[in-house]
Structures are given as C-alpha cells and as structure tokens.
Chains A and B, each alone.
Chain A
Amino acid sequence: MKTPSTVAEVADIIRSSKKVLAVGAQTKPRLSQVPDEVTLISMRNLSGIVEYDPGEFTFTAFAGTPLREIVATLAAQGQYLPFDPPLVESGATIGGTVAAGLSGPGRFRYGGLRDFILAVRFLDGNGTQLRGGAKVVKNAAGFDIPKFLVGSLGSFGVLTEVTFKVFPRPPAMMTFAIPCANAAEAAAHIAKAASGRWAFDALDYDGSRILARLRGPQAALDLLAADVLDCWPAAEGVDNVVWDGIREWQFVGADGLLVKIPVTLRKFPALEAILQARNMGFHVVGGSVAYAYHPNVSYSDILNEALVGISLSGLNLRGFGGRLYFGESHHSAVAKSLKLAFDPCHRLGA
C-alpha cells in the first residue's frame, strides 16, 4: 500500500505501476479486494476540506477526507448532505463514498450522492490531472464526468478532490414505525407515503416495519405527526437514534456478505421472497435499494443465481472473497471504448 501526500505523487504511482486502485478507509472491504499485481493507493494523506462557504451551499474536500469531518463541519454551520452518506462514524472517506456510489436513507427526498456531486478533480489512467463539472450549484458545461465517476469503483479515474452541493439542515426530525407483515404491504405503504402531501424525508423498510422520517420546523412536525397517525393508525413514534444505526450499517455484522441491490416497489416482494428463502437479512432504503446480508460469504453464488432469476443486479460491498457483481450484467461496446478513453493502458481499478 502506497500512501502519497500530494497529487503529483499519486500521478507518479499511477504511471509507474502496472495496476492501481485508490482506497479510502476500506470500510467496504470487497471493493478494495484486489489481486497481488494491483498496487493499492491509500488516499488518507490527501485529506481536508479545501473550501467551504456556507453562503454558497457548496464545499470542496480532498478525496481522503473522512465523512465524519465533513458532516461535523457542515453541522457547525447548520448544513448537511441530504443523502445521508453511510458509515460516517465507521471512518469512511468522501472519495470512497463517491467511488462506491453509496447514499443513505435521505436519498429518498432529494436524491442520492449523484444528485449532489458538482465537480471533481481526478487523475486518468495516464496520471494526467483533470477536472470535471464546476464548483457552482448549477452547471451544464461539458460532459457530466462527476456523475459518471459515481459508482465507478476507481476504474475510470483516481479522485483527488470533490465538490458537493449542501442544504440547510432542517431544525427538527421525527420518526415513525409502521408495522408491515411483508414486502408487498411495505411497498403499498411506501407508494402511499411517497406520493402524498407529507414530504417524507426517508422511508426505509427493515423487514418488519417501515421507518418513516419527517424533517422541518418542530411546530410543523408536531402538526404533521397527528395527520400521519390518522393515516397510519398502526404507526408509532420511535426515537430518531434508529437512523444512527442504519447509517453505520449496524443491521449487518462486520464480516459476511453485504450486497447493494437496486430495486423497485414492484420487484420488492420477489426480492424479499428469494432473500427469505435463503435466510438472508435485508434493509431497504427509500423503496429503491436493498442491502442484503448473510454472515456466510459463500452465499455469494446462491444469491447471484437468485437475482438473475428475478432480473435484478447487485454489488458486493463487504463479502471478502465473494463475487463482486451479482445478477444481470449489461455489456455494451461503448463501455469498453469509454474505459479506453479514460484509461488506455488499463491501469485503473481492481
């Protein structure tokens, strides 16, 4: 593992290595699992917030900056990243979160990480320093490279600096639990809640209940709460602390398989059925992405087969030794050409 302190050093490592993969705090171990020939580049020394002006609703940070530092700095100014980046207390970095393409419960209301990233600095496969996007909240100039790099797992560029849009943090939060017998029932609750007037901020499903969150002025939440309880008589208030555990993925052990599976409400029941049949636990964010887990990584192949059967795909975040991608895969000719555009010598990525 190399630990460069400057962007120029990162460029040198890229140019002098056969293959490289940039890593942050390695909180998603499967994503940094590489063959011996790949040199890991730790970005931990390229850390710190470069620019932050609350009046602009933007900040820029080095890729290796811990989320914890960013979240705390924003909070001190009454702002936040509305998509709730996961693993804040676990030490995850902003660059790793971008490369992994991960968002938390708050993605339901205003969109995910991809909807808040504005600009990037990165190195291509030749070690050339490049920028994409612009450090302002609205921009349509040039191709949207920042978005493209979200979820690219370091195989199209090594991120060195990222710029995000932020929002003022609503003053209060309120959480309800709505019991559900199964995924079909959960999907119906989510569909109703998501198209209603309440402007829910998060709607998660943990296998037995919907966790619904409102944010806003306390006075408004107190009034809204009465209406929510009228519309969902079985709902009850729960402590907001429940979100801390979800954010840190405490629904899963540190080891074992943890697979991100994009899903829709209509495919919810089928997904629940295959997971339950295989004794796998799961947590669903916003009705649009499931995190499925099992303590035994060898379930990787079994899960893959099942996901193929219901036309879903997945990404293994933690199951060291298990397959990386699951289910349906789409190979387009243009994907190969694009890889060459960013990384002609195939140096980047695992």
Chain B
Amino acid sequence: MSLSRFAQIFPPERLLTSAAHLSAYESDALTAFHSRPVAVVVPESGDEVIAAVRLCRELGMPFVARGSGTSLSGGSLPVAGGIVIALNRLNRILKLDATERIAVVEPGVVNTQVTLAAQPFGLHYAPDPSSQTICTIGGNVAFNSGGAHCLKYGMTSNHVLGIKAVLATGEVVEFGGESRESIGPDYTGLFVGSEGLFGIALEITLQLLPRAECFHTVLAGYRTLEEAGDAVSAVVASGLLPGALEIMDALAIQAAEAAVQSGYPRGCEAVLIVELEGPREKVAAERPALDALLAASKPIESRVAANAAERAKIWKGRKSAFSAVGRLSPDFIVQDGVVPRQRLGEALRRISEMSREAGIRVANVFHAGDGNLHPLILYDGRESGALERAEELAGRILKMCVAMGGSLTGEHGIGVEKRAYLPDMFSADEIALMHRIRAAFDPLGIANPGKMFPGGDAPALVQHGLHPLEKSGVISRE
C-alpha cells in the first residue's frame, strides 16, 4: 500500500492518517468546502518535501501543499485520494542580508515574521494580507497575495526575487536569484500565483524595503459610500500616491467595531482610510494637500492617527473586518473581484441592488485605490439552499466585475471557489495555453489538482461550520 512508502520517508508522528488528525486539514478558510485527504505528511526539511513529491509522482498520487490554511479561494483544499504536505515546520528564515535587503525563507515562514526579523535593520516585507499574522510565505507565493498597499508596492510577485522549488515532475529548479534584476524569461514571475499547480517552493528569496519613516493615517467617515468614493477619486486626481486607500461600508464597520473597537466614527455609511508615508519632510509637504481635499469631501468626521498606537488601532479594524463579519452572520463568502477604479461606485450600487433582489446581506470592504472589492456575502448555512443562493449572488458579482473590464480575483486567487468562472475572463484558447503551461510543470496533473481550471471532481460542500481561525482560537464570535 502506498502509505507504507510514505512511512519510509516520515516517522509515524509526521505521517498523519487518523480521522481525528485528518479532519483538521479537511478545509481551509473557504469553509464551505471540505475534502479528506488519505494522509497528511509533515516534512521538516526541503529534502523530505522533494522525496514526498517524487514519491507522489511515482505513485501518480495528488498532493496539496498547505501552510496555515488561510486561503479564501479554497486553494489548499485537499484532494480525495491524495495527500496534504503540511509545510508549517519549514519555517526557518535561512538568511537575512541587510546589505542586499533580502531575506531567504522557507515556505512555512509566517508573513509577519519576515518583517519582524527585518525590523532591526529598518527594513520590512511589503505585502501585508489581512491574515499576515498567520498566513505563510509559501501560500502567499502560490496565490500571489496582496494586501492594503498594492497600488504603490504591488503584490507578492513584485517582491519575490528567486525561488527554489521542486516541480511536480520531481525536478528541482532555481529561478531568479538574489539580484533585483534578471535576464531571460521571468520564470520566477510565472511561478508566483501558479496556485500550487507547478510544484512546491522550498526556498524563497524576498526583497525587503526600507520602512517608511513617517506615516500620516487619516480615518474619515461619510454619510454615503458614494461620498467616500468621490474622496478617493479626488485623492487619485491630486497627484498624490498614498500607500493605502481603503473603504469599509456600514455593515463592515459595525462588524469591525463589535470585534475590535477601533473607534470608527458612529453613524457613517462608509469610512475611508488614507495613508501617506515616506520621509517626514515629504509627508509634511504632502499633508496639507490631502487634508484640504479630504475637508472638501465633507466627511461627518475625520481623524488623524496621532501616533503609532492610534495608527495600529485604525488598521486593526480594517484587517479584522473579514473575521469580524462572523459576528453578523453564522456563515459568509468573501469575494475578491476587481473593477476599473473609476467604476467602483457603479459596481457598489449594482452589488447593493443584487443584494436587495436576492434578499442576502452583503458587507463591503475594499481596496479603493486599486478597485479591488471584497463583498462579504452573509448567509446561514443551516437554512436549506442558503449556501447555493449566496454562491449564485457571488457568481453574479464576479461576472459583473469581468464585464466591467476587471478581474475575477485581485489577491485571493481562483482556487476551487472561482474555477467555474475562469472562462468568463479567458477564452478557450487562453485556457488551453494555461493547461499546456501547467502540463509543462506537471504532466501528470498531481500538483493541487482541481484548482484554477474549470471541471474536475467537485469537492464536498459543508453547509455550516466554524471558521478555521475560530477553530484555531485566533478569533471568536462570542
């Protein structure tokens, strides 16, 4: 039996096969889906990962790499009949070179650990997904994770300089390197965001940036979403390039306030977070222009973070929004579509109409600077057909984003969740090319099958359940 072959690589305590152990890996942050793997292996070295992948290849057995399981698109959903390769113990920062401003890390290193390690040198790792205190760099690489600073600093892909990976063929490759420049086709760029369909990254070289000396973080509350949107347009037109431009609607504010008490202004239909950053002289020079145009945008209330603690409090509300929505509803789906920034207002109006028509509540949190929406579709999985209705609404929103010239996903990836919609964005020829690219890395189709591409086995749906962050005790909805 194939498991005995894995037992030759992994000792019993790192080859999990009991139902109790496996159940913890059945789902990721897309809780509506679950699937039980045959086994979970817990490698402690890159060589063990390579050995596991090569054995999978020999056996034709599917494998799914998993970090902290925070994927909102079901990116680390196990495959029935396959194994999960849990990478949390590959959590070493192999090198932190302050002179070159790079870090070389294993895939299980948690996102914020990189910044923590870089801090003594005045450096930081820019991509900051909301789950950054638990999500891993390996998962960030696989799904090209974003965060709140993407307009100015880009996504994960813009910060990965090199990757050593084991491909699904068993080949070990090194793409890119320690230089910020390269020659030849950008294999590193292709690997990032490949959703685990090529293989498993073993060592990732990240660029570090100097931490901004000074921040000017403003929280402004508005009577309507439209007014908040107009304020964003005014900021963009002003020639300023803020590090972040975020909006939350009333429902999201309500949830965040209940969860973390960030002190967001009361009675607002929308709050806007704008942040200037840079050397103190530059922030001081830009601040009057921002303050003037925000004043002209007529907020109910506008507040400037006076210090690092107040800034952190403002951001805590924003970053906890997803999990906080759990307080408003037993279950929810997070969407991640992108629209051209100037059509945000129109997109939000239509989402609101669709929400009313469907009788389903939708909370909105979005990266207003880059047109990346995060509608949170609330439902109660205990009601018959509620999940299906929520998914139908999610699908309508996604199709709207694509029809407006945007994208199905800004930062969560296609995963299992949105795979049926890939043909809405790409032609049959384009999807065929992506299949050929995938086959070049993984001719047997064993690396994270069932993700990104339409079709394939449908994973089981759970109608209702605890959010994995709750299971792990990170959040609660008491």
Interface positions of A (Cβ within 8 A of B): 53, 55-57, 78, 101, 103, 107, 110-112, 114-115, 124, 128-132, 134-145, 147-153, 155-156, 167-169, 171, 187, 191, 194-199, 216-217, 219-221, 223-224, 227, 260, 262-266, 285-286, 288-289, 313-315, 325, 330, 332-335, 337-338, 340-342
Contacts and interface: CB of A to CB of B under 8 A. Distances in A.
Interface stretch (B3-11, B26-34, B188-196, B351-359): B188-196
Interface stretch (B81-89, B236-244, B248-256): B236-244
A198 B213 CA distance: 8
Nearest to B210: A195
Contact of A56 (B122, B173, B213, B340): B340
A260 B182 CA distance: 9
Contact of B414 (A142, A152, A155, A330): A142
Given A148-B187, A149-B185, A171-B239, A333 B213 contact: no
A220 B279 contact: yes
B142 to A, nearest CB: 10
B417 to A, nearest CB: 12
Contacts, number: 271
Interface of B: 97-101, 121-123, 143-144, 146, 150-155, 157-158, 167, 169, 171, 173-174, 177-187, 189-190, 192-194, 210, 212-213, 233, 236-237, 239-241, 278-282, 284-286, 336, 338-342, 367, 370-372, 405-414, 418, 422, 425-427, 429-430, 433-434, 436-441, 443, 452
Nearest to A129: B429
A192 to B, nearest CB: 9
Contact of A217 (B167, B174, B286, B406): B286
Nearest to B159: A111
Nearest to A339: B440
A223 B155 contact: no
B281 A138 contact: no
B179 A140 contact: no
Given A131-B426, A142-B422, A151-B184, A262 B177 contact: yes
A135 B342 CA distance: 13
A265 B370 contact: no
Contacts of A289: 179-181
A144 B146 contact: no
A120 B122 CA distance: 37
Contact of B433 (A124, A140, A198, A262): A124
Given A168-B239, A196-B210, A338 B440 contact: yes
Nearest to A171: B239
A330 B176 CA distance: 10
Given A134-B407, A138-B411, A217 B285 contact: yes
Nearest to A134: B407
Given A138-B370, A195-B98, 4 more contacts: A56-B342, A134-B338, A136-B341, A139-B338
B55 to A, nearest CB: 19
Given A141-B408, A334-B169, A341-B433, A147 B186 contact: yes
Contacts of A145: 190, 433, 437
Contacts of A198: 279
Contacts of A115: 154, 158
Given A147-B189, A334-B173, A140 B144 contact: yes
Nearest to B342: A55
A199 B61 CA distance: 49
Given A56-B340, A130-B429, A138-B370, A148 B190 contact: yes
B369 to A, nearest CB: 8
B183 A219 contact: no
Nearest 9 CB-CB pairs, A to B?
A147-B189, A337-B440, A341-B436, A289-B181, A220-B285, A197-B213, A288-B180, A262-B179, A217-B285
